[in-house]
Amino acid sequence: MTASLAPQTAAGSGFVRIEGLAKSFVPGKPVFADVNFALERGEFVCIIGHSGCGKTTILNVLAGLDTASSGHVLMDGREIAGPGLERGVVFQSHALMPWLTVRRNIAFAVQSRWPGWSALEVDEQVRRFVSLVGLDGAIDKKPSQLSGGMKQRVGIARAFSIQPKMLLLDEPFGALDALTRGTIQDELMAIVRQTAQTVFMITHDVDEAILLADRILLMSNGRETDAGWRPGNIAETVVNPLPRERSRAGLHHLDGYYALRNHIVDFLVSRARA
């Protein structure tokens, strides 16, 4: 195993810091505990683990949609307490308002972010991000007139349009077919590079994590042991050694790809629930 795949300790500083995070639904059996990691500005971090390990709970705490049982989440040195427009969220379900067009769905978010803007300023911002996701021709269509992939593009455009400090993605491409998913992944990566966006993303797709992430957090599930209940945790942090300029089509041609992929798969198969 190369040094780049070795376990890394969580950073003690960062733009976003998660410190001693724990969540319990059953007394004495926390889903996860003592979770510590950090994100730097402009960094793309993916988290992978089996269902039930607590990935979505961590993302929801970061989004301010849930609270932890203990621990702290800080962004820019301030504790996160509740939802905020400085964090954009994209879920697997597009969550568009079906009675509004693409233009109006995104404009609603932009107006919430900048209530003092004129109609022209709002529309310019909307058009900019609709263009970034390649939907200029669909700007005045309603969600019922769009494919699943197009709806997810709108959700991504809406999240980026408010220029959040951090983007949170909860398996946003999980319901899409492989071809559409690959196309939008490449588009997302291009936008992230262009905007220098900080991103935290949940995925079950190993190749998706390798394609998009600068670092990949491998999360273990909570389980019973001879010594009692062992909560889930970030078992390992893997630094992606591949060139940052990469595409889905060319991923498997890159030196180090198979070693990285095999390492993550081995964790999921042999160690995530061990």
What confidence score (pLDDT) does residue 144 get? Answer: 95
| b/e per residue 230-255 (b: at least 16 CB within 10 A) | bbbbbbbbbebebeeebebeebeeee
What confidence score (pLDDT) does residue 72 get? Answer: 94
Pick among 3.40.50, 1.10.10, 3.60.21, 1.20.120: CATH of 3-50+57-77+201-271: 3.40.50
Residue 124 contacts by C-beta under 8 Å, 6 or more apart in sequence?
Answer: none
Residue 219 contacts by C-beta under 8 Å, 6 or more apart in sequence?
Answer: 32, 47, 48, 49, 53, 54, 55, 232, 233, 234, 235, 272
Q: What pTM did the predictor assign?
A: 0.89
> What is the DSSP-derived secondary structure letter of residue 162?
T
What confidence score (pLDDT) does residue 3 get? Answer: 34
Question: What residues does each domain of the chain span?
Answer: 3-50+57-77+201-271
What confidence score (pLDDT) does residue 87 get? Answer: 93
pLDDT along the chain (274 residues), means of 10: 38 81 92 96 95 94 94 93 90 86 96 96 96 92 93 90 93 81 84 89 94 96 90 95 89 94 95 75
Structure tokens at 87: 């964090």
What confidence score (pLDDT) does residue 274 get? Answer: 56
